[in-house]
Amino acid sequence: MKALALVLAAVCAAPLSAAQLGEPDSRPEAEVRALERKLARAQVLKDNFALDALFDNTLIYVEVDGTLLSKGDYLAKAVRPESVLVEVVVESMAVHAFDATVIVDGIYSEKRMRDGQVYVQRRRSMDTWVNEKGNWICVAAAARPAPR
């Protein structure tokens, strides 16, 4: 009986959900988080079919050194054999929803194999997703070196 009372007290004391507080629906954030994970997987697997679906045709992609790539440039580069992306580990991801646009600010480390050597580099990224006809699509992605 005492335990039950404690459980009830805990439930009653639980913070109100976002919906109860009248805050925006969290679905866009959850959907885009899942798409970011899918994007990382597709990059590692060199899955250009998946990347093509995730990126808008007008994609603006800024590489870590500031080079600007179009979607075509990016997809062509993704399958090049000279530098193999082995792993992407997302360290943090903050999702900011603005109606039909979502900004994702993240820190990740990527492991690459080049000339038989493994390199691990830490990056900070900012991606912009827009909802077009019910689907979220990445229209801009930019990366930069992140401090260790």
Partner 1 sequence: MPTGLRSAIMLVVLAGAGGARVCAQSASDPDAVAKVLALERLWGQASALRDIKALDFIFDDDLVNLDIDGRLMTKAQTLADTLTAGAVQIVVESTSAQAHGKTVIVTGVLRLKGVDAGKPYLRHGRFVDTWMYRRSHWVCVASETTPIGTR
Binding residues (CB under 8 A) for partner 1: these are 56, 58, 60, 62-68, 96, 98-101, 103, 105, 121, 124, 126, 128, 130, 132, 139-140, 142-147
Residue 62, phi then psi, degrees to nearest 5: -105, 115
What's the min distance (Å) between Cβ of 84 and partner 1?
17
DSSP summary character for residue 31: H
Read off the tokens for 140.
Answer: 């801009």
Q: Work out the angle at residue 27's Cα, subtended by the Cα atoms of residues 21 and 32, and round it to the nearest 5 degrees.
A: 135
What's the min distance (Å) between Cβ of 70 and partner 1?
11
Q: Which CB sits closer to partner 1, 47 or 112?
A: 112
Q: Which CB sits closer to partner 1, 46 or 122?
A: 122
What's the min distance (Å) between Cβ of 11 and partner 1?
32
Neighbour tally for 1: CB within 10 Å:
5
What's the min distance (Å) between Cβ of 32 and partner 1?
13
Q: Residue 119: which residues within 8 A CB-CB, separation 6 or more?
A: 111, 112, 113
